[in-house]
């Protein structure tokens, strides 16, 4: 059975079908939860809560998006709630405008010319972003959720979601491609 | 148009969601500095897409925990539904008994009237 058929069966009360949907999607949903929360313990809680909400609200799922996309939205919402509750956030104290640029020459990915290194450093840079910026850039640039869906799940306006995305992208670029002292002097 | 203005707009146009206006496009076409900055945004975006495919394996036991939680919710739902059905059945039985009683009383009343 494909996902749409499994959803239809689960809606009709087939618990095996819902179990199958969980098996198909939980590693992906966990990856999103981990990226949003930044730690394993919170990610596990978020994933469990997300599937519980999905199970209870399955009848409301219209099927106009894929089940996995619907799960991303629920996960984003659960992660946002968990983060607002003030759980462990190592980087919450960072201000939006705090400089993140890593100017060590050995960390210049262009010089290294290594996509893998760039991804590894991107992971680090994402972890260092404040959660409210991180959530938006992950949901938009990694999971391709529309601005409106992101805004809905995070409980913010679409305009605010766009502003956060703008800031997050800028900070990631500054972190991964730090300007040289010469460029900084030129910019001033 | 100045590089600083273009720099402000680049994060919005990098994924093609927002369209760059003509003045901005012309500036980028002729400015190596802005071209380099746009290329950096594109690299970050590509790397974000690549990260999406990276598998983050959850610790063992997560699937079992999820299924247990869902099963528990399912049992609660089934119990609730059973109780609701019983309540409906009891209410139905009471209503039927009351109706039968009322009908009996009416028939009994009529017979007494005829007898009188």
The C-alpha atoms of residue A70 and residue A53 are separated, in whole angstroms, by 11
Indicate whether A184 pLDDT > 90: no
Please tell me which of the candidates B40, B47, B73 has its beta carbon nearest to residue A56: B73
With CA atoms as reference, the chain A residue closest to B59 would be A40
Asked if the C-beta of A173 comes within 8 angstroms of chain B's C-beta atoms, the answer is yes
Q: Name the more confident of A116 and B30.
A: B30
> What percentage of chain A reaches a pLDDT higher than 90?
65
Q: Are A175 and A102 in contact (CB under 8 A)?
A: yes
Query: Of A79, A88, A94, A64, nearest to A29 (Cα)?
Result: A79
Asked if B31 has any chain A CB less than 8 Å from its own CB, the reply is no
Residue given tokens 């104290």 in the structure block: A93
More confidently predicted of A43 and A91: A43
Q: pLDDT tens across A74-105, in order?
A: 999 999 999 887 654 444 444 444 445 554 54
Q: Which of A71, A121, A141 to mutate to test the interface with B (most CBs of B within 10 A)?
A: A141
Average pLDDT over residues B36-47: 94
Check if the beta carbon of residue A70 is closer than 8 Å to that of residue A21: no
Contact between chains at A31 and B56 (C-beta distance less than 8 A)? yes
Q: Return the pLDDT at A108.
A: 56
Does the pLDDT at position B66 exceed 90? yes
Three-state SS at B31: coil
- Cβ pairs bridging A and B (under 8 Å): 99
Rounded average pLDDT over A30-59: 94
Average of pLDDT values for A4-33?
94
Range with the poorest average pLDDT among A70-74, A107-111, B48-52, B79-83: A107-111
Asked if the model's pLDDT at residue A107 lies above 80, the reply is no
**CA-angle at A94, arms to A91 and A96, nearest 5°:** 125
The overall longest dimension of chain B from CA atoms, in Å, is 114
- What pLDDT was estimated at residue A99? 47
On chain A, the residues whose CB falls within 8 A of the CB of B73 are 52, 55-56
Structural domains in chain A, sorted by start: 1-85 (1.10.1740.10), 100-188 (1.10.10.10)
Give the least confident one: A60-64, A81-85, B86-90, B96-100.
Answer: B86-90
Q: Residues B2-26: what's their mean pLDDT? A: 86
Tokens of B81: 């539904």
At residue A188 the predicted structure's pLDDT band, cuts being 50, 70 and 90, is very low
Task: Check residues A89 and B105 and name the one with the higher pLDDT.
Answer: B105
Highest mean pLDDT of the ranges A93-102, A127-136, B71-80, B83-92: A127-136
A72 interfaces chain B, CB cutoff of 8 Å: no
Query: Residue A119: its chain B contacts at CB < 8 A?
Result: 47, 50-51, 54
Most confident of A105-114, A155-164, B101-110: A155-164
Interface ipTM > 0.85 = no
Q: Which residue has the tokens 């939680």?
A: B69
Summarize the confidence of residues B61-74 as an average pLDDT: 92
Domain map (residue ranges) of chain B: 3-52, 60-116
Structure token pair of residue A33: 């939860």
Pick from A19, A47, A115: which is nearest to B62 by CB? A47
Residue in chain A closest to B9 (alpha carbons) equals A166
pLDDT given at position A163: 95
Judging contacts by C-beta atoms under 8 Å, the chain B residues touching residue A143 are 52
Q: For chain A, what is the mean pLDDT? A: 85
Contact A22, A30 (CB under 8 A): no
Per-residue pLDDT at B67 exceeds 50: yes
How far off is chain B from A47, nearest CA to CA, in Å?
A: 8
Contacts of B45 in chain A (CB under 8 A): 141, 169
Residue with tokens 């800031």: A167
Verify whether the Cβ–Cβ distance B11 to A169 is below 8 Å. yes
* pLDDT for the residue numbered A84: 81
Q: Which residues of B touch A52 (CB under 8 A)?
A: 69-70, 73
User: Burial code of A36-49, b = ≥16 C-beta within 10 A, e = fewer?
Assistant: bbbeeebbbbbbbb
B70–A52 CB contact, under 8 Å: yes
In angstroms, the CA B33 to CA A179 distance is 11
- For the ranges A35-44, A55-64, B16-25, B53-62, the lowest mean pLDDT is seen at B16-25
Tokens 């247990």, located at residue: B68
A114 touches chain B (CB under 8 A): no
Which residue of A18, A27, A143 is in closest CB contact with B58? A27
User: How many residues are recorded in chain A?
Assistant: 188
């Amino acid at each position: 059975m494909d996902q749409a058929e499994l959803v239809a069966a689960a809606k009709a009360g087939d618990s095996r079908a819902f179990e199958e949907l969980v098996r198909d999607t939980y590693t992906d949903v966990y990856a999103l939860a981990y990226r949003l929360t930044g730690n394993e313990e919170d990610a596990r809680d978020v994933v469990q809560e997300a599937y519980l909400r999905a199970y209870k609200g399955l009848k409301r799922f219209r099927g106009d998006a894929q089940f996995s996309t619907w799960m991303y939205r629920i996960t984003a919402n659960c992660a946002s709630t968990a983060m607002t509750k003030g759980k462990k956030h190592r980087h919450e104290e960072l201000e939006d405008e705090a400089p993140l640029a890593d100017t060590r020459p050995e960390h210049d990915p262009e010089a290294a010319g290594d996509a893998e290194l760039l991804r590894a450093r991107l992971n680090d840079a994402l972890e260092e972003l404040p959660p409210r910026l991180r959530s938006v850039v992950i949901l938009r640039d990694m999971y391709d959720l529309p601005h409106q869906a992101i805004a809905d799940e995070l409980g913010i306006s679409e305009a605010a979601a766009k502003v956060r995305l703008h800031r997050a992208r800028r900070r990631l670029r500054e972190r991964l491609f730090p300007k040289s002292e010469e460029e900084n002097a030129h910019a001033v | 148009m100045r590089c600083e203005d273009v720099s402000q707009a680049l994060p919005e146009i990098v994924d093609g969601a927002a369209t760059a206006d003509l003045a901005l496009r012309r500036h980028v076409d002729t400015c190596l500095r802005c071209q380099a900055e746009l290329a950096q945004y594109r690299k970050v975006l590509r790397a974000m897409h690549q990260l999406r495919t990276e598998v983050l394996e959850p610790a063992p036991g997560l699937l079992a925990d999820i299924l247990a939680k869902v099963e528990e919710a399912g049992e609660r739902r089934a119990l609730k539904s059973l109780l609701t059905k019983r309540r409906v059945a009891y209410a139905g039985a009471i209503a039927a008994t009351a109706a039968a009683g009322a009908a009996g009383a009416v028939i009994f009343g009529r017979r007494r009237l005829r007898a009188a």
